Structure 1
Amino acid sequence: WQICFSEFVLQGFSSFHEHKLTLFVVFLTLYLFTLAGNVIIVTIISIDRHLHTPMYFFLAVLSTSETVYTLVVVPRMLSSLVGLSQPISLVGCATQMFFFITLAINNCFLLTAMGYDRYVAICNPLRYTVIMNKRVCAQLGWGACSIGLLVATIQISCVFRLPFCDREVAHYFCDIRPVMKLSCVDTTVHDIINVIVSSLVIVVPMGLVFISYVLIISTILKIASAEGRKKAFATCASHLTVVVVHYGCASTAYLKPKSENTQDQDQLISVTYTVFTPLLNPVVYTLRNKEVKDALLRVIGKKPLG
């Protein structure tokens, strides 16, 4: 078997032809809000000394990762909504898939690091600054990125060793399953490997966050004052909201049987984690987080810097 072409063609939202203009406007608006929101978060955290803490360090890294994550997928998706077809070279497809996988996994493990940070802050507050020092934070950040790079390298190597007999990718970006469907050979082994890898990079960090929050809630319930319990819960609310939506979307997309949904349903599920989920960080961490809102007011000069 030999590859007899040098590019794929992304079908995009071909089934939604009559609604392409509406989808373009909606997705472009959400994308601009996502970019603006994440840039604002990173800027505020960088320049406001009140936010120079481990929790906001991880938030800044997550926002940066989410920004690049959307840049990998959304611009090409938007262009497909105003064009007829979207050719992409094999190298371009592999590159897009590599960065998508790397950043998606990176985000999963960054949320786990943020969960660990909340666990230490609430369950071991007296040693918080010792445990969550700059070196540990940097190691957790690099660890999350390294896992993403390693898994992406392995998966890309497996997928692009396959012989391809079709060039029409039934998706708006080069995701693993739609590309593997173009192979001339049986991909059962690759599908099993993909499910195992997906399970590990979703279930393991999700399980670690779950354990963290079991311990956190157990500690919070032991706090004597109602005000103390409320304050402790408030410090975790934003992170927990992002975690539930992020892992929920990832599980729906990658842990379900591959034949369970139609192509249109798969694309709609993909939209949730490539367009809507990245918008979650700026919305949740600015609307629900008092410290970030106060920092924003200080930056724009409507609150004293004290």
Structure 2
Amino acid sequence: MDNLTFRYSILLLEGMKVTPQSGYIAFIFLLIAYIYIMLCNILILIQILTEKSLHQPMYLLYCNLTLNDVIGTTVLVPRLLKDFLTDPSARYITYVECVFQAYFIHLNGTTSHTILMIMAFDRYVAICNPLRYSTIMTSEMVVKLSAGAWGVALVLVGILLSLTIRLSHCRSVIQNHVCDNASLFKLSCENVMINNVYGLTFTVVLLVFSIGSVMLTYLRIAIVCFKSKNKKTNRKAFKTVTTHLTLYLLMMVSGFVVIFLHRFSEYADNRRILNVIFNVVPPGLNPIIYGLQAKDIRQSILKRLKNKLSGM
């Protein structure tokens, strides 16, 4: 069994099927997108952490999302950039590297849900219990919520990948442009029923909790706003809720489209292209939709830039 398990320590990635000319164009666009995503997210992250006036629960919880976007993009994009410049027959990756990439890709997707769930809870408390907001959303609560969002994802994805790496593998080609759990256990000639059952259960439970909690949270917020006669408060609540829901819907739509196309092998190339787009677009839009739209963050960044320019 041990000999079979490590029969192929070097794997071949099928990668994106593009011509050399289109590969160079894709490389340039993806590189620009990567630099933009990293600069925007890191800028907002640093701004929130260094500016005391932004040390509010809403913004501190948002730091989890920016950090997750940075990790997810870094795990995926540099490898794709390298593959665009590499001959398809030489796109090799070690089994260990493939497992690490798969782990962080699934971690990124899972924490996207758990982080938006705790952000929804924060908005619920702020709008439905404004007088108790400061007593509920303490620094300790922010730390607990953040740790819970990451901890749950770390454990669930750890189990997911542990069930896969226990398998022997008799194939050496990853039939995908990136390493993920399904691509890894498809390398095995053993029975992978337990992998499929856990993977399906994991996905269903995550989506049920994610969609259920967000729907209930915003339904409650909508009821409170409907009963309230304070137009200013309702307008502010609507703006923050709309921003959060935009992020959530963007994530859900992108995820469901890729999952749906997984069921049709004839659309494999389209699925890979859309998968790359959906892994780049949300992290690029999140800083604009949530970060820069927030008045406090925007003014803080503009103030810092103005001070730097005046000091030159």
TM beyond 0.5: yes
Q: Deviations over 1:264-284 (max 9, x none)?
A: 132123213322221121121
CA positional deviation for 1:189: 3.7
Partner of 1:10: 13
Question: What letter is aligned with 1:274?
Answer: N
Q: Give the distance between the partners of 1:204 and 1:259, measured in 2 at CA.
A: 24
Q: Which residue of 2 aligns with 1:259?
A: 263
Does the aligned pair in 1 maintain the 2:174–2:183 contact within 8 Å?
yes
- CA separation of 1:194/1:258 partners in 2, compared to 1, >3 Å: closer, same or farther? farther
Gapped regions of structure 1 (runs ≥ 5): none
195, 202, 207: which one aligns with 2:200: 195
Q: Give the match's secondary structure for 2:117.
A: helix
Partner of residue 28 from structure 2, selected from 9, 25, 28: 25
Q: Spell out, residue by residue over 1:235-271, the C-alpha distance to the aligned partner (whole angstroms, 9 max, x if none).
A: 22222211111122223334x4843353213212321
**CA distance in structure 2 between the partners assigned to 1:183 and 1:273 by the alignment:** 28
Matches within 5 A, 1:156-171: 156-171=161-176
The answer on whether the counterparts of 1:162 and 1:183 sit within 8 Å (CA) in structure 2 is yes
TM-superposed CA distance for 1:152, in Å, is: 1.6
Deviations 1:191-243 (A, max 9, x none): 23211111222331222111111111111122214333212211222222111
Distance, in Å, in 2 between the alignment partners of 1:25 and 1:175 is 25
Cα deviation for residue 18 of structure 1 reads 4.9
Paired residues of 1:66 and 1:278 also in contact (CA < 8 A): yes
Alignment partners' CA distance in 2, 1:287 and 1:141: 22
| Alignment partner of 1:38 out of 38, 41, 56 | 41
101-110 vs 116-125, which moves further: 101-110
Whether the aligned pair in 1 keeps the contact of 2:17 and 2:269 (CA below 8 Å) is no
CA contact (8 A) 1:30 1:275 kept: yes
Could you tell which deviates more after superposition, 223-232 or 31-40?
223-232
TM-score when scaled to structure 2? Answer: 0.90
Count of paired positions: 302
Q: Is the Cα contact below 8 Å between 1:170 and 1:263 reproduced in 2?
A: no
Aligned counterpart, 1:152: 157
Does the 8 A contact of 2:160 with 2:195 survive in 1?
A: no
Aligned partners of 2:103 and 2:180 also within 8 Å: no
Distance 1:166-1:247 versus aligned 2 partners, 3 A rule? same
165-174 or 37-46, which deviates more: 165-174
Q: Give the letter aligned to residue 205 of structure 1.
A: S
Residue 108 (structure 2) pairs with residue 103 (structure 1): yes
Cα offset for 1:16? 5.5
Identity %: 27
Asked if 1:173 is matched to 2:192, the reply is no
SS in 2 for 1:13: coil
**Whole-angstrom CA distance in 1 between matches of 2:105 and 2:263:** 22
Letter of the structure 1 residue corresponding to residue 139 of structure 2? K
1:233 maps to 2:250: no
Partner of 1:248: 253
Q: Distance in 1 between matches of 2:99 and 2:16?
A: 21
Q: Among residues 91, 95, 98, which one is paired with 1:93 in the alignment?
A: 98
Root-mean-square deviation (CA), in Å?
Answer: 2.0
